[in-house]
Structure 1
Amino acid sequence: MPEPTPGEGFDPVPPDPPIHHAEQALLGALLLDPNRLKTIGPLSPDHFASPAHTAVFAAMTDLTAPTPAVHTAEPAWITAVHAHARARAPGLQPTYLHTLVNLCPVPEHAPAYARMVRADHARRTLRAQAEYLVQAATDPTTPDPAATALARADTLAGFLDELAGRFPPHPGSLPRTPLPPPPERDGGDEAAYEERVLLACAVARPQALTAMRWLHADDFAIPLYGRLFRCVAQLAHRGDPVDPVTVLWEAQHHGLLGPSLPPRELLDLMATPAGAAEHWGERVLLRSLLHQARTAGLRIRAYTDDPATSVHQLVTGSRRALADLTAVRARWHHATHPAPTARPVPQSASARAGPRPPHTKPATTARTAR
């Protein structure tokens, strides 16, 4: 026999997910004894996945529970809950509340059912936070994509801290969910152009690379250009001469030359610098930052889609996913907020005047003594 529903077309949650049965068991226990509301721990209506269950629990929290004597003598509690819940859920049938009572296996286990409801709500909320992060990293209309993505990452990290405090750790805390493949990099014409110009600028002014250690070869959307950048950076950091020919020779030692990159094409690539290398480097790093933010969001979403993953496993896996973003974020901050140049400390008047004669005391000593 199919399981009764609150009303035809009302409850969109299928009866298969375990959380549906946990919510039914909890509400049935609370309908049997409203005093159990004091024993289930912190819980709010929005913790429930089903709109019907949200309405029923909201009615329970809004109403004043009857005394045990009244509750035992007549079904006043169920009647009041149904009447109050119908304002939010017009399709809710009174028979469904009696069904909830019958579906509760052990009313004394209400605190355990409540923990299940909180856990599933944490999973859904974390998935939504991951979706926001992915959206922020891929929305081309965002005025400041880096700040927006990092703000979303901060919100997600703060939520993980809350979950870590509410759900105790347990053995085997690493998620066993297979990681999805990383998304494709943005290797379009704009990215390719900016990376080519950056290479030309780095060859023309290699001294700029000393201050650009915040840029790594893995940041490039075009892997070949990233490896060429590594060649230029290694020459500059070793103090070797840097020009198109020396870079060509270094690229040969790295096995980069071949049919896909003949020597003439590499020389032409480095022949037209434009602008400053720092500017193009920031553009490359920005794309890398947004790519890592998107990758972290997709990994976290994959964890939340795995029903075998516990809340603590979600926290552990999500923090690991954000760690890679944090590493790129530190380099982005270093690139866009360089440390101020230290100013020389002015000499004091006494220092400019030269050493004091022997057996004399500075005037400041006398003033301090007084």
Structure 2
Amino acid sequence: MDALFKGEQAVLGAVLLDPAQLHTLSWLEPTDFYRPAHQALFAAMRTLSAQERPTRGADGSVPLSWVTDTVSEAGHRVRGLSASYAHTLIAACPRPQNAPVYGRMVLEGSIHRTVTEHAVRLEHIARTDAEQHQVDDVLHHADFLAGVLGDLASRWGIEPRLILPPTSRRIATPSAPQVGPEHTEDERFLLAVLIDQPAAMAEVYDWLRPGDFADAGHGQIYRCLGALHHRGEPIDEVTALWEIQRRGLLADGSLSREHVESLFGGPGAGSAEWLGDQVIRASVVRTAAAAATAIRALAESEAVAPGRLIGHALHAFGPLDDVRARWNKAVRPPQAPPPEADRAVQVTAALARSPTPAISRSTALPLPDTAAGLPTRRSRAAGHP
């Protein structure tokens, strides 16, 4: 027995029994219904209501024409509807006055389906573009999903805010795909450059993090190189190996000697900044795929209420926002402030474009004595989508 299917039938049956209930369901859309026949029937009801068809007889009863006209109008949108199914809907409604509650069930199912649909699309785009590191397309779909979450929050009647999922109720997510050696070549080349060129670490240290590496071992080696750079110590094969050993990465099996030796003595040629950009681009795409996978798992769980689903989904975008900000810092470095002479010219030009008209004393209105005690109006900042 499908509760959502029964809820959709109950909503439609309630409106067929009492057309006035349609006004209490103004927030419900035909697309919120899962089955095309139900979408067509609800759209037909709204069309007939907008045309002000008579829904009550002289004695206050609902005329039979309300049912037959609804089925006829819906038949223009979908095939196979009959008057017998309308009577099935009427029989499926326990109490017409509970129509808003039934409608809330329909909207809840629609929210879960909508989030699932967009999360699956984002996950597919991220995994498809993983080879080419197409960051812009992935981020566009991520922003679109965030906007959808904001719209759904408004429809559900809540503010879009981040909600941390409790650890006791974590949703199981599908395992991430294995990263092959062909996906980590840029990481190996980058580490070789950082070890061979002492000044190269300064090019990526501010925005590249160990978690951006697909290979966990590469991330550990980068963490060691970053520690040497942070302490102001020289970076070469000997100091890097010493830092790796003193952190116990070889003893606990986090790194193998073959893994480490493959990076030492290799071709340390290339641009650390360019290689680092390739690494963080791949990190953006992987993080977007992971966020989409987590959001899809949340949306597919019927135990998660819509408000929590939206809040948990927005929270799942947190890691993506972090790596996205660092990628923007890498590809769009801050510009140096203009010289003082150029700045003065810019200020003068700006003032010339927007002159302030002078106010004569004769036309100026006097300020009341109580003006200081009046409250000021504050603008409301728009929330995150």
TM-score scaled by length of structure 1: 0.82
Distance in 2 (CA, whole Å) between partners of 1:323 and 1:37 is 40
Return the letter of the residue paired with 2:54: P
Q: 1:320-335 maps to which residues of 2 (within 5 A)?
A: 320-335=315-330
Question: Paired residue for 2:53, among 65, 82, 86?
Answer: 65
Report the counterpart of residue 27 of structure 2 in structure 1: 42
Find the aligned partners of 1:316 and 1:235 in 2 and give their Cα distance.
40
Consecutive unaligned residues in structure 2, runs of 5 or more:
345-385
Residue type at the aligned position of 2:155: R
Which residues in structure 2 correspond to 1:211-360 (within 5 Å)?
Answer: 211-212=203-204, 213-257=206-250, 261-262=256-257, 266=261, 269-346=264-341
CA contact (8 A) 1:207 1:236 kept: no
CA distance in 2, matches of 1:278, 1:324: 22
Are 1:107 and 2:80 counterparts?
no
Per the TM alignment, residue 231 of structure 1 is displaced from its structure 2 partner at its CA by 1.2
Quick one: distance in 1 between partners of 2:133 and 2:290? Answer: 19
State the 1:144 CA deviation. Answer: 6.4
Shift in alpha-carbon separation, 1:348–1:51, aligned structure 2, 3 A: closer
- Secondary structure of the residue that 1:69 maps to in structure 2? coil
Residues 1:281 and 1:208: Cα distance change in structure 2 (over 3 Å): same
Matches within 5 A, 1:49-128: 49-63=34-48, 64-69=52-57, 72=61, 74-128=63-117
Correspondence for 1:203:
195
Question: Per-residue deviation at 1:152?
Answer: 1.2
Would the alpha carbon gap of residues 284 and 173 (structure 1) be closer, same or farther in structure 2, given more than 3 Å must change? closer
Which residue pairs with 1:8 in the alignment? none
Aligned residue identity for 1:49: Y
Name the counterpart of 2:366: none
Instruction: Report if the CA contact (8 A) 1:175-1:313 is conserved.
Output: no
After TM superposition, give the deviation of residue 56 of structure 1 in Å.
Answer: 0.9
Question: Alpha carbon RMSD of aligned pairs, Å?
Answer: 2.9
Deviation at 1:89, TM superposition (A): 2.2
CA contact (8 A) 1:185 1:291 kept: no
Q: Secondary structure at the match of 1:39?
A: helix
Contact 2:133–2:285 (8 Å) recurs in 1: no
Instruction: Give the SS at the match of 2:245.
Output: helix
Larger Rg: 1
Q: Give CA-to-partner distance per residue, 1:319-345, whole Å, 9 cap, x none.
A: 111111111111111111111234543
On the 8 A contact 1:199/1:229 being kept in 2, the answer is: yes
Of residues 138-147 and 170-179 in structure 1, the stretch that sits farther from structure 2 once superposed is 170-179
Conserved 8 A contact 1:248-1:266: no
Misfit runs of 4+, over 4 Å: 141-144, 168-177, 346-349
Residues 93, 173 of structure 1: alpha-carbon distance in 2 compared, 3 angstrom cutoff: farther
Q: 1:185 and 1:101 mapped to 2: Cα distance?
A: 49
Instruction: Determine what percentage of the aligned residue pairs are the same residue.
Output: 35
CA separation of 1:118 and 1:270: change in aligned 2, threshold 3 A:
farther
Q: CA 1:235/1:270 → structure 2, altered by over 3 Å: closer, same or farther?
A: farther
What code does the residue aligned with 1:209 have? M
Inter-partner Cα distance in structure 1 for 2:174 and 2:62: 62
Q: Equivalent residue of 1:68, what SS?
A: coil
* Partner residue, 1:194: 186
TM-score (norm 2): 0.79
Shift, 1:140, TM fit: 3.5
For 1:153, the equivalent position in structure 2 comes to 142
2:124 & 2:167 partners in 1: Cα distance? 24
> Which stretch shows the higher mean deviation, 322-331 or 34-43?
34-43
Deviates more, 1:189-198 or 1:162-171: 162-171
| Larger CA deviation: 203-212 vs 113-122 | 203-212
- Looking at structure 2, the residues matched to 173 and 275 of structure 1 have their Cα atoms a distance apart, in angstroms, of 43
Distance 1:45 1:311 in 2: 19
**Distance in 1, Cα, partners of 2:38 & 2:343:** 75
